[in-house]
Amino acid sequence: MNVHDSERIAGLLEDAGYVRAAEDDDADLVVFNTCAIRENADNKLYGNLSHLAPEKTRRPGMQIAVGGCLAQKDKDTVLRKAPWVDVVFGTHNIGSLPALLDRARHNEEAQVEILDALEAFPSTLPAKRDSAYSGWVSVSVGCNNTCTFCIVPSLRGKEVDRRPGDVLAEVKALVDQGVLEVTLLGQNVNAYGMSFADPELPRNRGAFADLLRACGDIDGLERVRFTSPHPAEFTDDVIDAMAQTPNVCPQLHMPLQSGSDRILRAMRRSYRTTKFLGILDKVRAAMPHAAITTDIIVGFPGETEEDFAATLDVVERARFSSAFTFQYSPRPGTPAATMPDQVPPEVVSERYQRLIALQERICLTENRNLIGSEAELLVVADSGRKSANTGRLTGRSRDGRLVHFRADDAAAAIRPGDVVVTTITDAAPHHLMADGSIASHRRTRAGDAHELSRTPMTAPVGVGLGMPGMGPAPMPEVASTGCSSGACGA
């Protein structure tokens, strides 16, 4: 979500006349888009700001802006710790950045603007996309959950859902510019449909499944992913839509957080391990080869060795293809930060290492099971050549796994954004390898765009949180995508 917000910030600035600086140039403007989930985000920001202080002294005309969740949380603290910052803006007013920069320059003093509520969906801002072949599309902003460890609801606000027609219009705008893969984003993506901003749209618990099926009708859209759902609200109709819509990828990120029902209750996670494992069973029954990933927190306040053993047991049974594991970090303003029985850091660290060891073993086993299977890969740019010695390139399979593949003589013709089919020959815990010959290579419009260093610039789409008269006219080409009960009408 932060990466996508950064695309909006880039689009907004380019629309205002700014030009992205080359890496080796001295930038006239540096914007930090911050996270506040873990404590190291705070440390990283203030460390980077300190690093820029001498540069700011040397070049008085240079501007520094700080936005995102940490800015929303800390507000005036940013300027107290780093008085050389020019602009501080929050999660709810990204669109104000160009005006704030102008005002700071004109008034020769720092500008701080932190709104308590969202002005408009970020989608009402232009976006300069990072990738020619893969795009992010938000279906909602905010979150209605009250997890005791999470600061996001207080920084992002209550959940507000975009109109289905607006979501589909943005997806189609990306596809029209060559994008092959779209990831639908929401803090609780499968709750989509219960908090529409448009007052004329009724609540619809099946809206997310409808949206997935509608994406299946967009010509040229080859892969659809989404993140992150919440186990408590994950319904069978979403599983059916995933299994029955060919371009929806067989991949699911399902946050576990803890395998102890007692800790889940303390976290205020409204599901228990039996329900969680039951969802995984249903997903695998419908999509036997689905890759399921997760989030796990180690050392939540009050976690005992018995609670941690329960987490290890669920991880063993769940067979996750990978897991994002975190040592609990108390965030000021959350209920968990003041809970008794905070787990000593050395205990958290030791448990964390045990969890990592278990998950690494599972990852390796599950990846080895894929040796000999065929994989369709969307070639990616972020890894480039895996090794100058092997000449491997990197692609992502439909189930989300990274595959380093040998291209040999065909390497020069294969671009990020192209699609290749190859056979898996070896495995490691976090990637697969394909050192055989390539069965096929398909050049794509996305590959053409990447070769030309051209990424999509998407125009504003949608309404300002239900305010009348601000939305686009319905688009016939996306209004006919097949959503039932009118749920996907613009």
Residue stretches of the annotated binding site: 143, 147, 150
Report the 10 Å Cβ neighbour count for 338. 12
Binding site residues for [4Fe-4S] cluster, as ranges? 143, 147, 150
Report the 10 Å Cβ neighbour count for 479. 18
